[in-house]
Structure 1
Amino acid sequence: MRQGRPQAVTRVVLVVGASSGIGRATAIRLARRRDHLVLVARAPRPLADAAAECVLAGAASVATHPVDVLDLAGLQEVVAATHATTGSIDAVVHSASVVAYGRFDQVPAAIWDRVLETNVLGAANVARAVLPDMRERNAGAIVLLGSVIGEIAVTGMSAYTVSKWALRSLGRCLQLDNRDRPGVRVCVVSLGSVDTPIYQQAANYLGHAGRPPPPVYSAEHVATRVVEVLDRPRKRVNIGAANPLMRLGFALTPGLFDVLVGPLFRAVATARRPMPTGDGNVLSPLPQAEAVGGGHGLGVRVVLTDLVARTLDKVRRRSRRGGRARGS
């Protein structure tokens, strides 16, 4: 973003991970601002759908590039093509991310490693592609979408947790490395629970589907906050009412946190319905599952309904065991 430009001036914004979830919602929100959009994601069809939505929303222009974030040369070509057609990139929203559920030893090494590669090395590649021109102009903003999980630890999501800790560290290092360019701003946004398709798309070795624990925010709400960060860049931004409480518990009462995190994770972050084992979209995209929202709503009612059902299941199982014991 060029320093001092009024908010109403059209920008050139690169959105990475634009075919689904927060990335797609952010692209649409930027389109309403009449920005020029450069959309990047792996799957061509949902990326084209997102572009069509942006055109309808009023984008000044939309370019799509089906590129994996692990393809540095491909990302550099995206930046070069943008410079040739639209001009320098004013801002970047990096939203591309994948998830794997399962105990550390249950998740195949190839899946665990790819989560880290996509979430960390992918973000580094995006920064490598855009920073040279931003530094030369002393202007630009990079927003990295992280997670509160990158500030605590949870059970059953080791690869994702490690990757988000690393992403937060990457953002901090980029801030320090670019102190000599005050016009280049790097922002890390730590998200709480957001209703996106990432839970359905995740690799899963738990046997049960993952879900966002309450409070759950819509992707559109988060997109609005992300655009605000682009307008007024800050080093760190938290989106999620429960984030401070989780960070405080992790830092001040680690023993109690460790005792509670497992049962709480099973209660509020996994669904009752079984989920077949599979690698989800970690190794390759699932175009049919890409959308803005994940259908999780606000989360509280869903979680309470599921907890009641689980409790009733336990009561029935105990009743059946008691009946068999009396019968013997």
Structure 2
Amino acid sequence: MRVRDSVVVITGASSGIGRATALAFARKGCAVVLAARRADALEAVRRECESHRRAEALAVPTDVTDAAAVDDLARRAVERFGRVDVWVNAAAVTVFGPFEQVPLEDFRKVLDVNVMGYVHGARAALRLMREQGRGTLVNVSSIVGVVSQPYTHAYGMSKHAVRALSASLRQELRLEKAKHVHVCTVLPATVDTPLFQHAANYTGRRPRAMPPVHSPERVARTIVDLARAPRREVVVGPTGRSLVIQSRMSPGLAERMMARQVDRTHLSREEPAPAGPGNLHVPAAGEGAVHGGWDGRRRTGLRRLTAATVLALAAAGAARRVRTP
């Protein structure tokens, strides 16, 4: 598909991956429809998008947990631009904490945003795309939708659910012979976004982006590429691809490695943090940002994790050879 002049709806557009994706499509001369809870942040993104030649932008403050609000988002996109070519579900929140210490209302809120928000977006998008006979829905999952991690149970559950939702939708579209309507899933590894500063937290330790950290722009480029040439599922970053391979070859080892990595690098032992709900129930103040300031953690983390993965894969291969009669 030709990306230039496409109409693209993006949820979670006020910060992080969603904001980087909006700017990436704007640079391609697309019309972008921006959705998030924070009106002031959306307005800042709208101005930045429209600073690019040929780009048009519409900001629609939207709570994705409200199905009627998401339907209204789709309606306003069509009223303004006549169609929707690409819909990107990127809104996400998270909570850190030992399982029994996370308040149930916070647990439910993560699932409501990260799962039902995607359901609402998918229903609105696919309704339009079936009528149009074409279009691409992109659901942003995560590498933790393949390899779970401790202390982020609700987030991990939601990202597994996003993969399942995408796969089921692809199957239905195939059975309907809707061959020009596509559903793609993106699985980034750790990304340099404000998600960790905004997270609810009940661990007593300050969350940090777990190295190696990839840029939001890298994920955004992947999403733009999917609009041009849809694929069913794409892992972003060599670290994520290594973890996926490792989880298939030796799932128990992958779980153990992830647990150690989270305990050592995802939660600070030097910086205590007060308990609180973060931005789950009330949006963070300010105009938002693409980055969270974690990019300096990339190189050292990449070297360490690459070395650990190589050793783990070698150990798994040796173990299989020993078991082979």
TM-score of the pair, normalised by structure 1 = 0.87
Per the alignment, residue 320 of structure 2 pairs with none
Per the alignment, residue 196 of structure 2 pairs with 199
State the superposition RMSD in angstroms. Answer: 1.8
- Give the whole-Å Cα distance in 1 for the aligned partners of 2:110 and 2:287: 18
Per the alignment, residue 244 of structure 1 pairs with 241
Per the alignment, residue 48 of structure 1 pairs with 43
- Give the whole-Å Cα distance in 1 for the aligned partners of 2:79 and 2:117: 24
Letter in 2 for 1:215: P
Asked if the contact 1:150–1:165 (Cα under 8 Å) also holds between the matched residues in 2, the reply is yes
- Give the whole-Å Cα distance in 2 for the aligned partners of 1:178 and 1:92: 16
Letter in 2 for 1:64: A
Per the alignment, residue 220 of structure 1 pairs with 217
SS of match in other structure, 1:13 = strand
CA deviations on 1:68-114 (whole Å, 9 max, x unpaired) are 00111111112112222211101011110001001111100000111
Per the alignment, residue 323 of structure 1 pairs with none
SS of match in other structure, 1:189 = strand
Identity of aligned residues (%): 35
Per the alignment, residue 96 of structure 1 pairs with 91
Q: CA deviation at 1:282?
A: 1.2
Task: Kindly name which structure, 1 or 2, has the bigger radius of gyration based on alpha carbons.
Answer: 1
- Give the whole-Å Cα distance in 1 for the aligned partners of 2:48 and 2:240: 32
Greater shift in the superposed pair: 260-269 or 113-122: 260-269
Q: CA deviation at 1:122?
A: 0.4
Q: 2:17 aligns with which of 17, 22, 27?
A: 22
Per the alignment, residue 120 of structure 2 pairs with 125
Q: CA deviation at 1:280?
A: 0.6
Asked if the contact 2:211–2:300 (Cα under 8 Å) also holds between the matched residues in 1, the reply is no
Q: 1:291 aligns with which of 289, 292, 309?
A: 289
Asked if the contact 1:30–1:59 (Cα under 8 Å) also holds between the matched residues in 2, the reply is no
Per the alignment, residue 148 of structure 1 pairs with 143
- Give the whole-Å Cα distance in 1 for the aligned partners of 2:239 and 2:287: 28
Q: 2:30 aligns with which of 29, 35, 43?
A: 35
- Give the whole-Å Cα distance in 1 for the aligned partners of 2:144 and 2:98: 16
Letter in 2 for 1:218: S
Asked if the contact 1:37–1:59 (Cα under 8 Å) also holds between the matched residues in 2, the reply is no
TM-score of the pair, normalised by structure 2 = 0.87
Per the alignment, residue 162 of structure 2 pairs with 167
Asked if the contact 2:192–2:295 (Cα under 8 Å) also holds between the matched residues in 1, the reply is yes
Letter in 1 for 2:290: V
Asked if the contact 2:141–2:188 (Cα under 8 Å) also holds between the matched residues in 1, the reply is yes
- Give the whole-Å Cα distance in 1 for the aligned partners of 2:258 and 2:129: 41
SS of match in other structure, 2:286 = helix
Greater shift in the superposed pair: 139-148 or 76-85: 76-85
- Give the whole-Å Cα distance in 1 for the aligned partners of 2:106 and 2:128: 34
CA deviations on 1:229-277 (whole Å, 9 max, x unpaired) are 1111100111021123322333333433444433321112122312211
Asked if the contact 2:21–2:221 (Cα under 8 Å) also holds between the matched residues in 1, the reply is yes
SS of match in other structure, 2:119 = helix
Q: Does 1:275 align with 2:251?
A: no
Per the alignment, residue 113 of structure 1 pairs with 108
- Give the whole-Å Cα distance in 1 for the aligned partners of 2:256 and 2:118: 33
Letter in 2 for 1:91: V
- Give the whole-Å Cα distance in 2 for the aligned partners of 1:194 and 1:252: 25
The list of structure 1 runs, each at least 4 consecutive aligned residues, that deviate by more than 6 angstroms after superposition, is: 301-304
Structure 2: any 5+ residue segments left out of the alignment? Answer: 303-325
Per the alignment, residue 187 of structure 2 pairs with 190
Asked if the contact 2:13–2:34 (Cα under 8 Å) also holds between the matched residues in 1, the reply is yes
